[in-house]
């Protein structure tokens, strides 16, 4: 049994400045399975911090009574760099100020990093292959020499996540219902997670184009299996981005319920003792390419015609855009039409929008023309 709190100090880029990153380790040190969780990689998305705040005591209590059969590594707030991004009292938190990189984009391609070494050492023993692949990733991480604060942060995070069987990255949307981003191979094993979360949509893509944190881990195993079909390589990193509603939804009772639901998932998988409550099955997954990121092409003030969860038809007005300049300023309204039929799972909190802003996600069932390559909303 263990309940460890570990704080790492990261040298920041300016002289005389540092930041601290705290993780918790819970559960039997010799447990075969490892679960990794983190929240607030996008530092302006804090519902996940509240969820993990309530999950920690549940795991601690279970560990104290010997009821955990997995090791848990948890970063309740994984991005202190982004948490420090306050500009004129507004919290930013999504992009690294130095490089402009989205904190949840352009993570390393582990397949490219280790495939050559792995290919030389694969055997006919599945368990030995898993151990060897993870060792190759660890060896590669050991050769890296991060220089910037963001690189140091990422490197530290990866050294804690590389050998996890489950990687759960807690985020939120702008204004939304609970949903998941997940790779197809991961989805095959995370259906129970969607059920217990009460997720309304499971959006799948093997590669959404952005190098997101949740795709780093399953992509390694999926691509190795494809590259070496004659060797037994068990799929060994199930991962997902858990979208916990919208940015304002940081409330004790909601976070407590979400934590209980996550704990029930761990019970369902046999990582914690006890019988989880019965839950309704979540909707079937759909390809991310079937979800429309509905955008505006000019500036204006949004007036929504639909609520979260509404089912809409292609061509149906989702909102009106009230003109703010020109001869029809403050009188004209332009309908913004759905480009697909499906369920509205997100909207925009900000009602003043400019060209290119996304105002809704509409989850359909059939891939949309032009929805390929980079699939993310950013």
Burial letters for 150-173: b for 16+ Cβ neighbours within 10 Å, e otherwise? bebbbebbbebbbbbbbbbbbbbb
Closest CA to 359 of 314, 320, 315: 320
Q: Tens digit of pLDDT for each residue in 238-282? A: 999 999 999 999 999 999 999 999 999 999 999 999 999 999 999
Q: Which pLDDT band holds residue 354 (cuts at 50, 70, 90)?
A: very high
Range of the domain at 193: 3-283
> 12 and 149 in contact (C-beta within 8 Å)?
yes
The verdict on 82 and 175 lying in the same domain is yes
- pLDDT of 60-71, one tens digit each? 999 999 999 999
Where among 283, 304, 332 does a domain terminate? Answer: 283
Find the helix packing angle between 213-227 and 126-143, rounded to 10°: 130
Helix (H, G, I), strand (E, B) or coil at 285: coil
Number of domains in the chain: 2
Domain boundary pick from 249, 283, 317: 283
Domain of 208, CATH number, reads 3.40.630.10
Binned at pLDDT 50, 70 and 90, residue 2 comes out as: confident
Whether the model pTM is above 0.95: yes
Q: Strand, helix or coil at 252? A: helix
Shared domain check, 260 and 325: no
What confidence tier does 185 reach under pLDDT thresholds 50, 70, 90?
A: very high
Q: How far apart (Å, rounded) are the C-alpha atoms in residues 206 and 198?
A: 23
Are residue 94 and residue 204 in the same domain, yes or no?
A: yes
- 338 and 223 fall within a common domain: no
Is 170 a domain residue? yes
Boundary residue ending a domain (283, 301, 321): 283
Q: Which two tokens stand for residue 88?
A: 């004129």
Does the pLDDT at position 1 exceed 80?
no
């Amino acid at each position: 049994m263990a309940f460890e709190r570990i704080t790492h100090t990261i040298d920041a880029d300016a002289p005389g400045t540092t930041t601290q990153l705290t993780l918790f380790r819970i559960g039997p040190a010799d447990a075969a399975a490892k679960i990794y969780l983190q929240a607030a990689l996008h530092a302006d998305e804090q519902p996940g911090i509240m969820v993990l705040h309530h999950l920690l005591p549940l795991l601690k209590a279970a560990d104290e009574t010997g009821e955990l059969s997995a090791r848990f590594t948890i970063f309740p707030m994984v991005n202190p760099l982004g948490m420090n991004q306050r500009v004129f009292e507004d919290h930013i938190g999504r992009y690294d100020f130095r490089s402009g990189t989205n904190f949840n984009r352009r993570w390393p391609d582990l397949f490219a990093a280790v495939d050559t070494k792995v290919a030389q050492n694969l055997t006919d023993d599945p368990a030995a292959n898993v151990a060897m692949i993870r060792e190759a990733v660890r060896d590669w991480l050991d050769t890296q020499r991060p220089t910037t604060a963001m690189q140091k942060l990422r490197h530290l995070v990866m050294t804690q996540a590389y050998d996890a069987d489950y990687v759960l990255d807690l985020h939120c949307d702008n204004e939304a219902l609970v949903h998941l981003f997940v790779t197809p191979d991961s989805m095959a094993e995370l259906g129970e997670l969607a059920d217990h979360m009460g997720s309304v949509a499971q959006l799948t893509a093997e590669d959404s184009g952005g190098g997101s944190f949740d795709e780093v881990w399953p992509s390694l195993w999926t691509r190795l299996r494809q590259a070496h079909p004659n060797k037994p390589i068990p799929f060994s990193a199930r991962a997902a981005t858990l979208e916990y509603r919208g940015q304002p939804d940081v409330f004790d009772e909601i976070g407590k319920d979400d934590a209980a639901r996550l704990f029930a998932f761990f019970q369902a998988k046999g990582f914690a003792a006890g019988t989880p409550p019965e839950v309704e099955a979540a909707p079937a997954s759909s390809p991310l390419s079937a979800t429309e990121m509905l955008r505006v092409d000019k500036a204006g003030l949004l007036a929504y015609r639909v609520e979260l969860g509404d089912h809409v038809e292609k061509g149906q007005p989702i909102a009106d855009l009230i003109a703010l300049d020109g001869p029809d300023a403050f009188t004209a309204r332009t309908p913004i039409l759905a480009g697909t039929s499906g369920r509205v799972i997100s909207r925009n909190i900000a009602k003043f929008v400019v060209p290119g802003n996304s105002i809704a996600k509409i989850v359909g069932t059939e891939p949309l023309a032009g929805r390929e390559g980079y699939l993310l909303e950013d």
